[in-house]
Amino acid sequence: QKEVEQNSGPLSVPEGAIASLNCTYSDRGSQSFFWYRQYSGKSPELIMSIYSNGDKEDGRFTAQLNKASQYVSLLIRDSQPSDSATYLCAVMRNQGGKLIFGQGTELSVKP
């Protein structure tokens, strides 16, 4: 079983729609959860972090965490073509610890 799993996509949505990205993780001891965006050939860029169950909103982005189901999601409202990128889910077990990344989901927002 992979430690962090994501659908590789590509996920294609029309401009203005909601994009929904999902991630599951295997380690129940994971404490911190992150969504990074990665454009081709570039480094990961932090979108959201979430540490407790429930929703966390930041502008057009909402992260959702369900530790019982070992599930993290990212919703992007009013998707824009500039949101087209690969979205990486990452989890951390303990403070100062390593990030464990999923394979990433490629998102394509069509004008």
Partner 1 sequence: EPEVTQTPSHQVTQMGQEVILRCVPISNHLYFYWYRQILGQKVEFLVSFYNNEISEKSEIFDDQFSVERPDGSNFTLKIRSTKLEDSAMYFCASKTGIVETQYFGPGTRLLVL
- Residues found near partner 1 in the complex (CB under 8 A): 32, 34, 36, 41-46, 49, 51, 88, 90, 92, 95-104
The smaller minimum CB distance to partner 1, of residues 17 and 103, is found at 103
**Distance separating alpha carbons of residues 83 and 37, to the nearest angstrom:** 9
Q: Give the separation between CA 83 and CA 50, rounded to whole angstroms.
A: 20
Compute the least distance from the CB of residue 13 to partner 1, in Å: 23
Q: How big, in percent rounded to 5, are the helix, strand and coil portions of the chain? A: 5, 55, 45
Taking the complex as a whole, the smallest distance from the CB of residue 51 to partner 1 amounts, in Å, to 8
Nearest residue to 9 via CA among 28, 22, 18:
22
Nearer to partner 1, 58 or 78 (CB): 58
18 or 46: CB nearest partner 1 = 46
Nearer to partner 1, 104 or 109 (CB): 104
- Shortest Å distance, C-beta 18 to partner 1: 25
Phi, psi dihedral angles at 81 (to 5 degrees): -55, -30
